[in-house]
Amino acid sequence: MTNEDAGRIRPDVRAALRECRLWRSASESAVDAFASSARVQDAPRGTALLAEGEPAERFGVVVAGKVRIYHLAADGRRITFETLETGDPVSVVAALAGGRYPAHAETVTPATIAWLTRDALFDLIAAEPEAARDLVTDLANRVVNFTAVVQTLALDVPARLARYLFQRALAAGNPSPSGLEVDLGMPKSELASALGTVPETLSRAFARLRDSGVVEVHGRRVVVLDVRGLATLGSGYVEE
């Protein structure tokens, strides 16, 4: 780990902090002050950044690279909660809650992390009410998302996959002659983990969707032929 001189803020660190949605409305000077308190870590791929159960004394912001947040179940199975990229905060909720880290974090690629303290963040929101509002809104959205995750886990795997593809198709689908084309952007084994299952079961789920005629699968590229059918299989939420 490298300690940065407060007087010299790395441009990539400043940019990443500026991009972080937790304090989007904060002033430039507040972010700079914040950035100058950061401790920057450049880590190779596969580095354990923090371990579940440790006291949560600090939090991070991803400056570059990808970071995986996951839980190791008692039987050794790994549940991936999320994969973080530039500008995303790492374990900020644990640090704010003041307890212990509820999950592990490790780098998936070579990555740079800026580490900050809970108190620095409290100072920031005390000084800038707009930032407090950003932070509260973001935390509230996380809770809502977790609620959705719990609900999704009640669905079977094909439905979870359908819901995932539906969201991806709407958010990042490229129109093509036969339908919306989605690039998974990760190995299917990775997707399986993100959906809370294993590659074999995911493979069968893809086969089901293919046989139902709602998607075509070509390696990592998936063509959604029937968006509405996909939404139905994913149990509703056609709205919006």
Partner DNA sequence: TCTTGACCTTGACGCGGGTCAAATCAGGGA
Partner DNA sequence: TCCCTGATTTGACCCGCGTCAAGGTCAAGA
Within 10 angstroms of residue 37's Cβ, the number of other Cβ atoms is: 17
Q: Is 109 in the site for a copy of itself (CB under 8 A)?
A: no
Nearer to DNA, 18 or 204 (CB): 204
Distance in angstroms (rounded) separating the CA atoms of residues 222 and 232: 18
What are the C-alpha distances in Å from 40 to residues 148, 172, 189, 214, 232?
Answer: 33, 32, 31, 46, 46
Q: How far is the CB of 185 from DNA (least distance, A)?
A: 11
The letter for the amino acid at 57 is: E
Nearer to a copy of itself, 6 or 144 (CB): 144
Q: How far is the CB of 232 from a copy of itself (least distance, A)?
A: 10
Beta strand residue intervals within the chain, DSSP E: 2-3, 39-43, 48-50, 58-64, 67-72, 78-84, 89-90, 104-107, 111-117, 174-175, 180-183, 215-218, 221-224
Binding mask 54-73 for a copy of itself (x = CB under 8 A): -----------------x-x
Binding mask 68-97 for a copy of itself (x = CB under 8 A): ---x-xx--x-x-x----------xxxxxx
Buried b / exposed e across 47-64, counting CB within 10 Å, b at 16+? bebbeeeeebebbbbbbb
Nearer to DNA, 10 or 188 (CB): 188
What is the footprint of a copy of itself within residues 182-221 (CB under 8 A)? 196
Q: Which residues bind DNA (CB under 7 A)?
A: 75, 77, 156-158, 187-189, 196-207, 217, 219-220
Distance in angstroms (rounded) separating the CA atoms of residues 227 and 229: 5
Q: How far is the CB of 199 from a copy of itself (least distance, A)?
A: 17
User: Rounded to 5 degrees, what angle do the CA atoms 16, 19, 114 make?
Assistant: 30
Nearer to a copy of itself, 54 or 200 (CB): 54
Are 191 and 184 a contacting pair, CB within 8 Å? yes
Nearer to DNA, 117 or 201 (CB): 201
Q: Is 120 in the site for a copy of itself (CB under 8 A)?
A: no
**Footprint of a copy of itself (CB under 8 A):** 53, 71, 73-74, 77, 79, 81, 92-99, 102-103, 122, 125-126, 129, 132-133, 135-137, 139-144, 146-151, 153-155, 196, 235-236, 239
